[in-house]
């Protein structure tokens, strides 16, 4: 029994109706099995990512001076729904709110405002979760430097993905690269996660000596063909804003296959 996804009343009713049946809690076992995806699951995840990116492209076309965070959320929800998916996460925020997961803002965007897109949808039960960063008008030198550092770390970690690599190696690669490229004090508790029937699945991309909080094996987890990994390293800084870049990759026998394709530059709108 996947006890984490069965309502208590349903479980009670099953036990009452089937008194001779022994129910064994097996949520962790199912999660282990689900880490390596089938071809059909990969197809659904790929389509989910495509729809999510279509929603992001709609946001990019709509974003600009005078537009609100609320307007952008409506654009995303409409586009994703039209494509046959269910919008499930609006972790985005814009302007001064971009520095954290605040409520959806209704203040008109001004030149220099950052838009941190961290959004997700679900297609045939399978999730997508992708992040990009936009700026209204021209980016400042500080914004360009910070984004270049974040991007360099995410890219370096993505390039390390292959069978036999520990998730702690991805974490250390991401963090070391970001710190060496202009953000020496950058800190993160994780640099990514897997995705599937849940938006956050094991393996979690955590560093050596760290706990993944909810997932077994933690930093010692080895990547296997058929696993998916989302790599991200969001920056949240009050008074400055927030930015992120997040991509989804499939571990293949020889390396990795990107499920996300949207441009990774700091996007000026």
* Cα–Cα distance for residue pair 154/129, rounded to 1 Å: 15
Instruction: Tell me which residue of 118, 137, 49, 256 sits closest to 41, measured CA to CA.
Output: 49
Torsion sign, CA atoms 256, 153, 223, 5? negative
Burial code (b: 16+ CB inside 10 Å, e: under 16) for 172-198 equals bbbbebbeebbbeebebebbbbbbbbe
* Cα–Cα distance for residue pair 59/73, rounded to 1 Å: 8
Query: How do the pLDDT tens digits run along the chain, 269 residues long?
Result: 998 889 999 999 999 999 999 999 999 899 999 999 999 999 999 999 999 999 999 999 999 999 999 999 999 999 999 999 999 999 889 988 899 887 888 999 999 999 999 999 999 999 999 999 999 999 999 999 999 999 999 999 999 999 999 999 999 999 999 999 999 999 999 999 999 999 999 999 999 876 655 566 788 899 999 999 999 999 999 999 999 999 999 999 999 999 999 999 999 99
Q: Which residues are paired to 266 by β-bridges?
A: none
Q: Is 135 helix (H, G, I), strand (E, B) or coil?
A: strand
* Cα–Cα distance for residue pair 54/73, rounded to 1 Å: 13
* Cα–Cα distance for residue pair 72/58, rounded to 1 Å: 9
Helix ranges, the chain (H): 8-17, 27-34, 39-62, 69-82, 141-159, 167-180
Global confidence as pTM: 0.93
Q: What are phi and psi of 256, to 5 degrees?
A: -150, 150
Domains in the chain: boundaries:
1-34, 39-268
Tokens of 84: 């046959």
Instruction: List all residues 6 or more positions away from 123 whose beta carbon is below 8 Å from its beta carbon.
Output: 44, 47, 48, 51, 84, 85, 86
Instruction: List all residues 6 or more positions away from 148 whose beta carbon is below 8 Å from its beta carbon.
Output: 181, 182
Q: Residue 223 in contact with residue 162, Cβ under 8 Å?
A: yes
Strands (E), 142-266: 192-193, 228-232, 235-237, 241-243, 246-251, 256-258
Q: Residue 59 in contact with residue 78, Cβ under 8 Å?
A: no
CATH code for the part of the protein at 39-268: 3.90.230.10
Query: According to the model, what pLDDT value does residue 216 have?
Result: 63
């Amino acid at each position: 029994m996947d006890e984490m996804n069965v309502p208590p009343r349903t479980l009670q009713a099953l036990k009452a109706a089937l008194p001779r049946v022994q129910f064994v809690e097996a949520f962790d076992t199912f999660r282990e099995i689900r880490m390596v995806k089938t071809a059909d699951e990969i197809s659904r995840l790929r389509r989910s990512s495509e729809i999510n990116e279509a929603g992001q492209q709609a946001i990019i076309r709509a974003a600009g001076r005078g537009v609100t965070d609320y307007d952008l959320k409506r654009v995303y929800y409409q586009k994703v729904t039209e494509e046959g998916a269910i919008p499930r996460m609006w972790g985005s925020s814009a302007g001064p709110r971009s520095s954290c997961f605040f409520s959806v803002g209704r203040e008109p965007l001004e030149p220099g405002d950052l838009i941190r897109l961290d959004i997700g949808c679900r297609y045939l039960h399978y999730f997508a979760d992708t992040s990009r960063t936009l700026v209204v008008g021209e980016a400042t030198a500080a914004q360009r430097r910070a984004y270049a550092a974040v991007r360099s770390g995410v890219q370096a970690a993505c390039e390390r993905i292959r069978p036999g690599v520990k998730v702690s190696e991805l974490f250390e690669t991401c963090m070391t690269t970001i710190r060496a490229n202009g953000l020496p004090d950058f800190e993160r508790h994780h640099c990514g996660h897997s995705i599937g029937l849940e938006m956050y699945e094991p393996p979690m991309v955590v560093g050596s000596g760290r706990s993944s909080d909810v997932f077994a094996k933690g930093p010692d987890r080895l990547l296997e063909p058929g696993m998916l990994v989302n790599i991200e390293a969001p920056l949240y800084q009050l008074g400055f804003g927030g930015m992120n870049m997040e991509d989804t990759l499939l571990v293949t026998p020889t390396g990795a296959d990107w499920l996300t394709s949207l441009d990774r530059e700091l996007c000026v709108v």
